[in-house]
Amino acid sequence: MAENKTQPTKASVDDFINQTESPKKREDAFRIKQIMEEVTGEKAVMWGPSIVGFGQYHYKYESGLEGDFLIVGFSPRKTAISLYLLGCMETSFNELFAKLGKHKTGASCFYINKLSDVDEQVLRELIKKSYDYMKAKYPTK
């Protein structure tokens, strides 16, 4: 059975964010880290080499594949900041996304160019609802 490649590591989140080339994107990444810590009550942890995650859940598919993954997270990529709010991607949060501001949606994440493109309060609400949804769907034993 294949294991999820993206695992939590002991790497420093701040060192990772400090490697972000763009000063503005680096500033935004530190702000998103702060927002996610405040909203989730979780400490930031590196998942693999490039994702900052908050909290984790255990999944098990009917196929027998199981593992752990972050509940919410982000990555300051070269082209955009990827935000992983898995609960938002699995449920209908269209009303909040409509109020969020400039973003693009992907299969398991959404992308923003910069934090000032979105409404921070709406982002906080999306993070909270997504986090709460995933905690309810995958309760810890």
Domains of the chain listed by start with CATH number? 13-137 (3.90.1150.200)
- Residue 121: CB partners within 8 Å, gap ≥ 6? none
CA angle at residue 68 from 18 to 65, to 5 degrees? 135
Query: Vertex 21, ends 17 and 27: CA angle to 5°?
Result: 50
Per-residue model confidence as pLDDT tens for the chain (141 residues): 456 678 899 999 999 999 999 999 999 999 999 999 999 999 999 999 999 999 999 888 888 888 889 999 999 999 999 999 988 876 668 889 999 999 998 877 899 999 999 999 999 999 999 999 999 998 876
Q: How far is CA 23 from CA 27, 35, 132, in A?
A: 6, 18, 32
Q: Which residues of 13-119 form beta strands (DSSP E)?
A: 44-47, 51-60, 66-76, 81-85, 104-105, 110-112
The span from the CA of 122 to the CA of 74, in Å, is: 16
- 124 contacts 100 by C-beta, under 8 angstroms: no
| pTM metric for this prediction | 0.92
For residue 90, what pLDDT is reported?
Answer: 64
